[in-house]
Amino acid sequence: MTDAILEAHVTEGALLATRRRTLVSLRRGDRAFFWATRLSAYAVLLILGGIILSLLSGAWPAMKVYGFEFLVTQRWAPNAMPEPILGGLGPIYGTLVSSLIAMAIAVPVGLGIAVFLTEICPPRLRQPIATAVELLAGIPSIIYGMWGFFYLGPFLAEYFQPAVIGLFANVPVLNEIFKGPSSNLSLFNASLVLAIMILPFVTSVARDVFMTVPPVLKEAAYGIGCTTWEVVRNVVIPYTRVGVIGGVMLALGRALGETMAVTFVIGNSFRISQSIFAPSTTISAAIASEFAESSDLHQSALILLGFLLFVLTFCVLALARLMLMRLEKRAGK
| Cβ-based neighbour number of residue 285 at 10 Å | 26
List, as one string, the DSSP characters of 49-86. HHHHHHHHHHHHHHHHHHTTHHHH---EETT-SSS-EE
pLDDT digits (tens, 9 = 90+) for 56-71: 998 998 898 888 888 8
Residue 190: pLDDT over 90: yes
- This prediction's pTM: 0.84
The pLDDT value given to residue 253: 84
Closest CA to 133 of 189, 201, 192: 201
Report the DSSP beta bridge partners of residue 267: 280
Domain ranges of the chain: 2-66, 76-330
Residue 224: pLDDT over 80: yes
pLDDT digits (tens, 9 = 90+) for 256-277: 888 888 999 998 888 888 899 9
Residue 17: pLDDT over 90: no
Q: Mean pLDDT over all residues of the chain?
A: 85
Contact between residue 114 and residue 206 where contact means Cβ atoms under 8 Å apart: yes
What is the pLDDT confidence band of residue 5, given thresholds at 50, 70 and 90?
low
pLDDT digits (tens, 9 = 90+) for 122-149: 888 888 888 888 888 888 888 999 999 9
- Give the C-alpha separation, 162 to 126, whole Å: 37
List, as one string, the DSSP characters of 4-55. HHHHHHHHHHHHHHHHHHHHHHHHHHHHHHHHHHHHHHHHHHHHHHHHHHHH
Average pLDDT over every residue of 148-177: 90
The pLDDT value given to residue 333: 53
User: Hey, is 179 helix, strand or coil?
Assistant: coil
The pLDDT value given to residue 3: 54
What is the CATH code for 76-330?
Answer: 1.10.3720.10
pLDDT digits (tens, 9 = 90+) for 276-296: 999 999 999 999 888 888 778
Closest CA to 191 of 272, 278, 112: 278
- Give the C-alpha separation, 63 to 251, whole Å: 30
User: Torsion angle of alpha carbons 191, 194, 199, 204, nearest 10°?
Assistant: -140
Q: State the pairing for strand pair 85-86/76-77.
A: antiparallel
Percent pLDDT > 70 in the chain is: 93
The pLDDT value given to residue 7: 55
- Give the C-alpha separation, 281 to 258, whole Å: 12
